[in-house]
Chain A
Amino acid sequence: MAFRDLVERFQSKVFSIIYGILRNHNDAEDIAQQVFAKVYFSIRQFDFRSSLLTWIYKITVNECYDYLRKKKVRKLVYESDFSEDDAHMMENSGVAIDPNMPIDESLAHRDLAVKLLGKISEEDRNLLLLKEVDGHSVEELAGMTGMNENTIKVKLFRARQKLVKAAQRLGKVPGRFELGL
């Protein structure tokens, strides 16, 4: 596959992953460019044990977290970045967020999600993102990673446990939810 084909095939996917985490168009595009530059230079390291998408996904999420670490971004969306268009788009999307949920709360959830995912291992983080954000099924994840379905289930269970423990350590309880922790 020519590199141009690879970029054109995965650019929307990569951009949507980054945009989902950062919610800033310019930053998301910069990081997407960086992801493909990294893919270009390290394509020889791809060992075909997982799918190309899984490998690119891993690079993408790592780049996002590197960016967040470097910039020390704690708040995902600053008030200055949060335009009325953004608010309108989020309120009307109905995909990711409960439309009845106040915007402040959904921002708090995203902030919490990024923080908690930053506290668990890269493998657990990628698996949870592929499952919850990208909506892949256990069967699809098994096919993508080359593991069997039971292994994926166990890994997901452990990742979720670690996420809950990370939240307990942070003392974070999402506003709308009663976690019973």
Chain B
Amino acid sequence: MHEPLISHLEEILQKRLAPQQQAAVDAHLSGCADCRDELSAMTSFSQVVRSLRAPAVPELRAGFYARVMQKVEEQGRPSFWNLLLDPVFGRRLVYGTGAMFLLMASFLLATSGDQPELAQTPVQMISQPAVTAVSTQSGFGDDVQRDREQFLATMASFSE
């Protein structure tokens, strides 16, 4: 489309051109098929878009504002996921989880050292008699003879 039409397009579409301008546009259109076609298309689609004008808009039902506020409340109510996205709550959650993790890790580290390593072989059992499985039995150490017999019985029944 050429300049005389571009600058006056809105007036042309609304048919509000001054007579002099209209004459100039008509003169241009009579000699320019491209402008004629493009203007024809734009006029048509202008009317197509105007078809979206509501012919007679029905009234809104009473209480529209109340329904809007109800929707606002519904959408403003924090959900679980919204809470996670909330910066303050999210930061607290991260700090809390970190602190809990540190506590659990330190507890595990502190308690794992107290556990005696159980003897797996007779040699270990001899070298660590106090911490062998036998040591868990009640009365160990009270009677040396009985302990020796139990120990020998354990060794005799041991098989790899």
Contact = CB atoms under 8 A, between A and B. Distances in A.
Given A12-B60, A37-B72, A157-B6, A93 B55 contact: yes
Given A29-B60, A153-B7, A163 B55 contact: no
Contacts of A109: 47-48, 51
B51 A15 contact: no
A133 B53 contact: yes
B36 interface: yes
B53 A15 contact: no
B106 interface: no
B50 A132 contact: yes
B58 A19 contact: yes
A112 interface: yes
B38 interface: yes
Interface in B31-90: 36-38, 40-42, 44-58, 60-61, 64-65, 67-68, 71-72, 75-76
28 contacts: A7-B64, A15-B57, A20-B53, A33-B64, A34-B71, A36-B72, A37-B71, A41-B75, A89-B55, A95-B55, A97-B53, A109-B48, A109-B51, A113-B52, A116-B45, A128-B49, A132-B46, A132-B52, A138-B10, A153-B9, A156-B9, A157-B6, A163-B49, A164-B38, A174-B48, A179-B40, A179-B41, A180-B37
Interface in A6-36: 7-8, 11-12, 15-16, 19-21, 23, 25, 29, 32-34, 36
B9 A113 contact: no
A178 interface: yes
Interface of A: 4, 7-8, 11-12, 15-16, 19-21, 23, 25, 29, 32-34, 36-37, 40-41, 89-90, 92-97, 106, 109-110, 112-114, 116-117, 128-129, 131-133, 138, 153-154, 156-157, 160-161, 163-164, 167, 174, 177-181
Chain A CB count within 10 A is highest, among B49, B58, B60, B72, for B49
B45 A25 contact: no
A133 B57 CA distance: 13
A154 B44 CA distance: 19
Interface of B: 1, 6-7, 9-10, 36-38, 40-42, 44-58, 60-61, 64-65, 67-68, 71-72, 75-76
Contact of B49 (A12, A32, A37, A133): A133
A19 B71 contact: no
